[in-house]
């Protein structure tokens, strides 16, 4: 008797994305509750924004949207019971942790690494793009920090992150977090629960259910 493979949810995220923080901190527990597997898909959101002609996040470029967003983040973090500290630098560069996330995407430590990185950015207001910060984080997870960072900084892995971002563009991704169930796209933290339901087959409108 063979076990049935778990339905898979693709989770596209950038560590500099504040709404990705909300999803990151709860996605593993929610996936376990729904009987779903996660495919971690780190990518660079900055190049996508630049392709739209934006020099930064729309939360920076549009003051009213930014003012609303920070109030909304505080409200959403209270809702989910998450710590929150508005970053003094936003969007914060996250190239190195994204490269590390590519190295660890299929490893059992991936979820914890991602949560701790997000917490550094959005709960502790700390730099996440420095080699020392990442070495300390990986060492705290009892992982071979030097080897992982060396692999993350390899030319092959740098090219992988560029390819990931190109794939994101090809899939029509325009923001983060974005979730895919097959070709079905869901955008934004407020669509995580809907994406989970769709993936597990329990949501309305799935498999022909009205």
* CATH code of 197's domain: 3.40.30.10
Q: Tens digit of pLDDT per residue, the chain (210 long)? A: 344 689 999 999 999 999 999 999 999 999 999 999 999 999 999 999 888 887 777 777 788 998 999 999 999 999 999 999 999 999 999 999 999 999 999 999 999 999 999 999 999 999 999 999 999 999 999 999 999 999 999 999 999 999 999 999 999 999 999 999 999 999 999 999 999 999 998 654 444 332
Residue 3 lies in a domain: no
1 within some domain: no
- The alpha carbon of residue 41 and the mean position of all alpha carbons in its chain are separated, in whole angstroms, by 7
- Tell me the pTM: 0.91
**Structural domain total, the chain:** 1
Does a structural domain hold residue 171?
Answer: yes
Residues of the domain holding 137: 8-208
Find out whether 82 and 75 touch, Cβ atoms under 8 Å. no
149-182 burial string, b = 16+ CB within 10 Å, else e? bebbeeeebeebbeebbeebeebebebbbbbbbe
| Residue 59 resides in a domain | yes
141 inside domain: yes
């Amino acid at each position: 008797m063979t076990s049935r493979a778990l339905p898979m949810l693709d989770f596209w995220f950038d560590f500099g994305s504040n709404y990705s923080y909300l999803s990151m901190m709860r996605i593993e527990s929610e996936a376990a509750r729904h009987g779903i597997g996660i495919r971690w898909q780190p990518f660079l959101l900055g190049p996508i924004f630049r392709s739209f002609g934006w020099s930064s996040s729309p939360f920076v470029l549009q003051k009213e949207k930014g003012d609303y967003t920070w109030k909304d983040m505080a409200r959403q973090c209270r809702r989910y019971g998450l710590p929150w500290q508005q970053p003094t630098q936003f969007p914060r560069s996250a190239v190195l942790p994204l490269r590390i996330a590519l190295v660890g995407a299929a490893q059992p430590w991936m979820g914890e690494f991602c949560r701790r990185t997000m917490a550094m950015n959005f709960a502790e207001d700390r730099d996440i793009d420095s080699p020392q910060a990442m070495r300390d984080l990986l060492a705290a997870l009892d992982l071979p920090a030097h080897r992982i960072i060396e692999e993350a900084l390899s030319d092959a892995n740098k090219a992988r992150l560029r390819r990931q971002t190109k794939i994101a563009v090809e899939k029509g991704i325009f923001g983060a977090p974005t979730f895919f169930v097959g070709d079905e796209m869901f955008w934004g933290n407020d669509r995580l629960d809907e994406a989970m339901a769709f993936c597990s087959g329990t949501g309305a409108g799935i498999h022909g259910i009205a």
